[in-house]
Amino acid sequence: MPTERFTFPANFLWGTATAAHQVEGGNINSDFWVLEHVPGSPFVEPSGDACDQYHRYADDIAMLARLGFNTYRFSIEWARIEPEPGEFSRAALDHYRRVLACCHEHKITPVVTFHHFTSPRWVAGDGGWEEKKTAERFARYCERAAAHLGDLIGVACTINEANLGAYQYLLGAMPLKLDPSRLEWFAEAARRIGADPNRFAPYLMCDQMKARDTMLEAHRLAAAALKSSRGKFPVGICLALGDLQAMPGGEQRRDYIKAECQDIFYEAARGDDFIGVQTYTRDRIGPDGALPPEAGVETTLMGYEFWPEALEANIRQAAAIAKVPVIVTENGIGTDKDDRRIEYVRRALNGVARCIRDGIDVHGYCYWSLLDNFEWNSGYRPTFGLVAVDRETQARSLKPSAKWLGDIARAGAIDADLR
């Protein structure tokens, strides 16, 4: 395979990504913590102590810097910062201020996500993401958090994968809404926080199309709050993007999914400073929705197809429609074969290089994830991390891919196939 040395822009963000609930541990005031602990729920295990990054962040950030990265994308936890409506925890805000300061100490640009799936129990119990007032509540939280943290924020992402629920629904991968009259575990989770099961609406478990519209409004209000807050930093939204490919007869369905779950968010991002592209694979679309991977193709621990070329396709589409710079805020692979991780990222970065060569304004690449962490319903089985975590001792162990990608980040260049 012919390659040539490709040098990325001098200010390119080379990072890894995590989410608070997946790595911090002990996020007991969040809606997902409740769901994880209800018998019969789809969670195979609870998050528990996760990777204990709430206490180990300094070592993890120092490790990132030693490896050669200059960026860390992480989320701050709304459930910690606003445990009750209008009650903000100075202790939690001070904690995240120390995390941000630690990033700066190690010359790491902090990319802060304000919502990464989890919400306070009281939000989920009072209509959650089906409720329009959640958008205003979210913007209030963003405004309050940024007032305390904004001078140390490098880049701000309002919402992680704000389109995911609607996207999965239209693919046929999840129902429009969970029915508490048919799901005792869901009704029990609502009862445990004193909520009406019919008002209990955690993200990804509520009416997906209502949530889509609430998320769009929440982003609009939050972006305005952040732009007028303490500090000057770029603000954008992160989207879940599969490379939508129509199989015979699937063209109309593909175009409908793209319009309802991708284009509408691209258009909403036109006034932002960037758009966050998060891509893992392609989605093959038939007349009735997504099709499974073809027989015999390589798949990941998550069950979807090994298809790193999806990243280039989605960068090109996002840039063309949103007309703002792109940051790859997530891209990675759940695998127990680290050589396949390296191959996946190599091919994905070849696509990023081709986009930049063609004049597309790509500002950064964040691999998902820094650590093997809590992968939601799937628990700790899927391993996305550049760094392994011993579940008993919390000891970190670098995988070969960590050094490989860190070396690319330090050099700011890669031997790429630009064909």
Known catalytic residues are 161
Sign of the torsion angle spanned by Cα atoms 28, 34, 37, 41: negative
Cα distance between residue 5 and residue 334, in whole Å: 28
Specify whether the CB–CB gap between 78 and 120 falls below 8 A: yes
Specify whether the CB–CB gap between 307 and 282 falls below 8 A: yes
Cα distance between residue 142 and residue 137, in whole Å: 9
Cα distance between residue 212 and residue 337, in whole Å: 35
Strands 289-291 and 243-246: unpaired
C-alpha separations of 240 from 18, 163, 189 in Å: 15, 6, 27
Cα distance between residue 363 and residue 271, in whole Å: 17
C-alpha separations of 255 from 245, 265, 305, 358 in Å: 10, 15, 21, 26
